[in-house]
Amino acid sequence: MASTLFNASCSFPSIKVIDCKSYVGLRSNVSQVRVASLPVATSQRCSLVVRASNGHAKKLGRSDAECEAAVAAGDVPEAPPVPPKPAAPAGTPVIQPLNLNRRPRRNRASPTVRAAFQETDISPANFVYPLFIHEGEEDTPIGAMPGCYRLGWRHGLLQEVAKARAVGVNSIVLFPKVPEALKNPTGDEAYNDNGLVPRTIRLLKDKYPDLIIYTDVALDPYSSDGHDGIVREDGVIMNDETVHQLCKQAVSQARAGADVVSPSDMMDGRVGAIRAALDAEGFQNVSIMSYTAKYASSFYGPFREALDSNPRFGDKKTYQMNPANYREALIEAREDEAEGADILLVKPGLPYLDIIRLLRDKSPLPIAAYQVSGEYSMIKAGGVLKMIDEEKVMMESLMCLRRAGADIILTYFALQAATYLCNQKR
CA 369/CA 293 separation, integer angstroms: 10
Q: What is the pLDDT of residues 9-37, one digit of tens each?
A: 444 444 344 443 443 343 444 444 444 44
Q: Which residues contact 153 (CB under 8 A, 6 or more apart)?
A: 133, 134, 135, 196, 199, 200, 203
What pTM value is reported for the model?
0.82
Backbone angles phi, psi at 151, to 5 degrees: -90, 135
| pLDDT tens digits for range 229-274 | 999 999 999 999 999 999 999 999 999 999 999 999 999 999 999 9
The string of pLDDT tens digits covering residues 50-105 is: 454 455 556 678 899 999 999 999 999 999 999 999 999 999 999 999 999 999 99
DSSP symbols for 13-63 = S----EEGGGSTT---S--EE--------TTS-EEEEEEEE-TT----SS-
Residue 27 has a pLDDT of 41
pLDDT score for 55: 52
395 in Cβ contact with 420 (< 8 Å):
yes
> Does the pLDDT value for residue 318 go beyond 90?
yes
pLDDT, residue 373, reads: 93
**pLDDT score, position 50:** 46
**pLDDT at residue 175 greater than cutoff 60:** yes
Kindly list the structural domains of the chain, giving each domain's residue range(s) and its CATH number in brackets, ordered by start: 124-425 (3.20.20.70)
pLDDT band, residue 168 (cuts 50/70/90): very high
* pLDDT at res. 4: 42
State which amino acid sits at residue 108. R
Q: Among all residues, which ones are annotated catalytic? A: 294, 347
Residue 312 is predicted with a pLDDT of 79
Q: Are 176 and 152 in contact (CB under 8 A)?
A: no
pLDDT at 192 exceeding the cut of 50: yes
Residue 40 confidence (pLDDT) above 70: no
Q: How far is CA 401 from CA 191, 353, 395, 397, 408, in A?
A: 33, 7, 10, 6, 9
pLDDT tens digits along 136-162: 999 999 999 999 999 999 999 999 999
Amino acid identity for residue 373 in this structure: S
Q: What is d(CA 371, CA 399) in angstroms, rounded to the nearest whole number?
A: 12
- For residue 320, give the amino acid letter: Q
User: What is the DSSP secondary-structure string of 240-302?
Assistant: HHHHHHHHHHHHHHHHHT-SEEEE-S--TTHHHHHHHHHHHTT-TT-EEEEEEEEB--GGGHH
**How far, CA to CA in Å, does 226 sit from each of 200, 223, 396?**
22, 5, 34
Instruction: Give me the pLDDT at residue 271, please.
Output: 98
* CA separation for the pair 129, 370 (Å, rounded): 10
- d(Cα 272, Cα 263) in Å, to the nearest integer? 11
Query: 306 pLDDT band (50/70/90 cuts)?
Result: confident
What pLDDT shows up at residue 60? Answer: 72
Which pLDDT does position 301 carry in this prediction?
A: 83
Give Cα 150 to chain centroid, integer Å. 22
Residue 309: per-residue pLDDT: 67
- Per-residue model confidence (pLDDT) at position 305: 76
What gap in Å lies between CA 203 and CA 298, rounded to an integer?
A: 34
pLDDT at 47 over 70: no
214 burial (CB, 10 Å; 0-12 / 13-18 / 19+) is buried
Rounded average pLDDT over 278-297:
97
